[in-house]
Structure 1
Amino acid sequence: MSTLHPATDPAVYTPHAARFSQEGQPTTAQGWISRAQDVAAILAADATQRDAANASPVAEVSLLKSSGLLRVLGRASWGGGAQPWSVAYRAIREVAKGDGSIGMLLGYSLLWSQTASVVGTPAQAAYWGEKITRENLFIGGAVNPRDADLEVTEEEGGVVFSGSKHFNTGGVVSDLTVLEGVIAGTEKHVFAFVETRQEGIVFAHNWNNIGLRLTESGGVRINAVRAPWTDALGYDPHTKAPIPGILEVPYATLLLPTIQLVFANFYLGITQGALDAARAYTTRSTRPWPFGGDVKTAATDEFYILERYGAFFASVRAVETLADRAGAELSTLYAEHSEARDVSAERRGEVAEWVASAKVAATDVGLRVTSDVFEVTGAKATSRSAGLDRFWRDVRTHSLHDPVAYKRRELGRYFLLGELPVPTWYT
């Protein structure tokens, strides 16, 4: 990493890496969730300081690697945790409680790690799944659909990607990058994994936004990056054409609701982190209001503080329950259809609307709770040292990824008119 782009030092987490190695990889769902909670506690200790420093999260990604969390979805025979998405979502949520940026990075990497299993051939899914799991790789993705697709040209034995993206989460600290583009003169989309560290991938190092500051979500230029036809996911390397039954079926669109539920879960985790931090501040530092006519000796005896915390708690519990239900629905869909890839449009749409419901609820509750906790902590809680502002900044930043109003409309058409959502880059 250039000195022009400062990065965090992985050595700070060496003792934790040694402990994780000694404890070994978790073997149960609860074990994985507990490991994620452990990582969250480590990150929470100095999250406010790291947020302010805005350094490239090299150390934080090393912590994810040493914890094993990048392997949670991988097959056991590859050294993975063999857990369903429902457990991975819980892990993302737990990490986000401690640091929203790192919860987001974990979620994106897990999503991209499954790209070949959704849009690739069985052989490609096995190859990339094993490689990513065994080598404990962190994955970035230069896919942002709001920008023009990368242009893909053909050359002897492979395809060449060129273009640029304004956003590329985690790319700077990734081992592999997922590229997506359209073959010039056609409407054929191509996904491929490529090595991140190569001359043709040039990062802008321009991520300096108000929230999620350690996600390295800045721009990237892709300059004639080559991948062999064997790595073009879902394509026959001999005919150079999509393989029937791979890319044109509803199953191939499942990356979209899967990542939308990644979003909902790290929003929820950030919100839970805010509520935990506010509780700690209130019980430790908030003073009772002396001019209300019913003076209490402690802020925790004040009716309005108790009432507001009760409302926060109920709202967050409701989102948690909804997110868990959506995660169970998506996990069941994958379990039932991953072999035959025969999910129906109706089933796909039904699950997508469970995800949309969770996304809407997590956004609305997240923005409200992370903002309103200041009303129950007090004026001193706005100090930079308290760090309560980072939770709102994190939810506010990513909740603009795709307008939640369109998710509400989508749900309205599904409920009122019985219309299935049309698969798009955001549905």
Structure 2
Amino acid sequence: MTSSQEWVEIARDIAAKLAVDAVERDRAHETPYEEVRLLKDSGLVTLLGPAEHGGGGQTWETAYRVIREVARGDGSIGQLLGYHYLWAWAVRLVGTEAQIAAVEELYTKDKLFFGGAVNPRDSDLTITEDGDELVYSGHKSFSTGSKVSDLTVLEGVLEGTGDHIFAIVPSRQEDIVFHDDWDNIGQRLTESGSVTIKNVRVPWASAAGYVDRKFQPLTYNTLNVPAIQLVFTNFYLGIAQGALDTALAYTRDHTRAWPYGGDDKASAGEEWYILEGYGDLQAKLWAVEALVDRAGAEISEVLHAPREQLTPQRRGELAVLIAAAKQRASDTGLEVGTKIFELTGARASAAKYGLDRFWRNLRTHSLHDPVAYKRREVGAYALLGQLPEPTWYT
């Protein structure tokens, strides 16, 4: 049985391998089939899967740390792994006990990789009934994991009702068309382009959480948003940590002391402003890490508890804590991504070093939803005692 710390060490080893050619792979912008193969071969894909089917049997607390470590080597691959964990857990969030057992056995035994076509800012997919089948159709602007996924999570609204229905389908079918249109400045290897869903058929029996075509809601169903917001937070932190690691290594090997300040030093490692600058960034990242780890431990306890136990109050408290962690990781990460150039020096801006990729990666994904609203959620809780209402983003 592999321990939690051993899984983190496996993730650290994967990150080191990814970091070797991260700059070149970012430039090439090719579909990361080999990178996902690394995740599968290492066992990280089935970290949360049941041990009886060959999975790691680990908790979300470990999964969050693993996401962070992988992102330290490559932010795109950390994001892919984090989204995979969330979508693999989706059946636990809303499915029946029988559906949970079937999906977890399937993906764990075969080391299948998840993607999702569930962008709430687009119109919902339309679902129509055809006898004992549901038929999904529509278009989504973003589908992270698209071409590297084995399974895709769909979500839509049943025509003539307000009922949202999740379903898990094979990614490789002619009725799912992934478009090669992901061309953003950062997170370039996440395969987050658009997707067209054309009459994808799903048995009614596979409608997640539905029994006799009726859904019985639980507060637990709404944990998908806090859980994935903390996925974001962890790969933001991992990207920032990777930026600091890379900058420190560059300064040790290349940065020269400044000879015109009246306090000449023999090396950059003696230069007071460089030491002060790195000390400030490191302290801030340690502080963010402590907050993020606290959030990970608290939501992990809830995610692995009986689903019926979760109350709206506890759910809201977790959402606020994660909102606080996310804003800190985003703001501090962006500061690190900028400040490292002042500490490494002019030559570090050469394209061959790729130091800009950390800021680009974090800036790109941190726009997923406005961080100002996360600050507002925390403020409303602190000042007014208000908990955020569950939505697609809170």
If the length of structure 1 is used for normalisation, what is the TM-score?
A: 0.91
Question: d(CA) in 2 for partners of 1:231 and 1:342?
Answer: 25
1:289 aligns with 2:289: no
Partner of 1:419: 386
Say which of 300, 306, 316 aligns to 1:331: 300
1:192 aligns with 2:167: yes
Q: Per-residue CA shift, 1:317-376, capped at 9, x if unaligned?
A: 0111111000000011123333xx231000111111111111111001001011110000
Say which of 116, 140, 145 aligns to 2:91: 116
Partner of 1:7: none
Offset of residue 156 of structure 1 = 1.2
Partner of 1:307: 276
Question: d(CA) in 1 for partners of 2:16 and 2:41?
Answer: 15
Offset of residue 316 of structure 1 = 0.3
SS of the equivalent of 1:225 reads: strand
Partner of 2:333: 366
Say which of 324, 329, 345 aligns to 2:312: 345
Partner of 1:275: 244
Alignment of 1:5-44 (within 5 A): 27-44=2-19
1:220 aligns with 2:195: yes
Alignment of 1:203-242 (within 5 A): 203-236=178-211, 239-242=212-215
1:399 aligns with 2:374: no
SS of the equivalent of 1:106 reads: helix
SS of the equivalent of 2:116 reads: strand
Q: Per-residue CA shift, 1:33-77, capped at 9, x if unaligned?
A: 000001000100000000000000111111110010011111111
Task: Check the 8 A contact 1:105/1:170 in 2, yes or no.
Answer: yes
1:89 aligns with 2:56: no
Offset of residue 295 of structure 1 = 1.0
Q: Per-residue CA shift, 1:356-415, capped at 9, x if unaligned?
A: 111111001001011110000001101111111110100000000000000100111111
Question: d(CA) in 2 for partners of 1:334 and 1:115?
Answer: 11
Partner of 2:342: 375
If the length of structure 2 is used for normalisation, what is the TM-score?
A: 0.99
Question: d(CA) in 2 for partners of 1:387 and 1:281?
Answer: 11
Offset of residue 115 of structure 1 = 0.6
SS of the equivalent of 1:114 reads: helix
Partner of 1:256: 225
Task: Check the 8 A contact 1:71/1:80 in 2, yes or no.
Answer: yes
Say which of 150, 160, 163 aligns to 1:175: 150
SS of the equivalent of 2:296 reads: helix
SS of the equivalent of 1:288 reads: coil
1:278 alignment partner AA: A
Question: d(CA) in 2 for partners of 1:361 and 1:93?
Answer: 15
Partner of 1:265: 234
Partner of 1:21: none
Offset of residue 249 of structure 1 = 1.9
Question: Would you say how many aligned residue pairs link Structure 1 and Structure 2?
Answer: 394
1:146 aligns with 2:115: no
1:363 alignment partner AA: S
SS of the equivalent of 2:304 reads: helix
Question: d(CA) in 1 for partners of 2:95 and 2:36?
Answer: 26
Question: d(CA) in 1 for partners of 2:124 and 2:350?
Answer: 43
Unaligned runs of 5+ in 2: none
Partner of 1:17: none
1:125 aligns with 2:100: yes
Question: d(CA) in 2 for partners of 1:231 and 1:353?
Answer: 33
2:331 alignment partner AA: D
Partner of 2:355: 388
Unaligned runs of 5+ in 1: 1-25
Task: Check the 8 A contact 1:315/1:365 in 2, yes or no.
Answer: yes
Q: Per-residue CA shift, 1:240-275, capped at 9, x if unaligned?
A: 222x3xxx2211001110000000000000000000
2:47 alignment partner AA: V
Q: Per-residue CA shift, 1:130-158, capped at 9, x if unaligned?
A: 11111101000000101010001111111
Q: Per-residue CA shift, 1:95-141, capped at 9, x if unaligned?
A: 00000000000000011000111101111111111111111010000
1:393 alignment partner AA: R
Question: d(CA) in 1 for partners of 2:155 and 2:243?
Answer: 35
SS of the equivalent of 1:385 reads: helix
Question: d(CA) in 1 for partners of 2:320 and 2:45?
Answer: 27
2:315 alignment partner AA: R
Give the fraction of aligned pairs with identical amino acids, expressed as a percent: 57
1:412 alignment partner AA: G
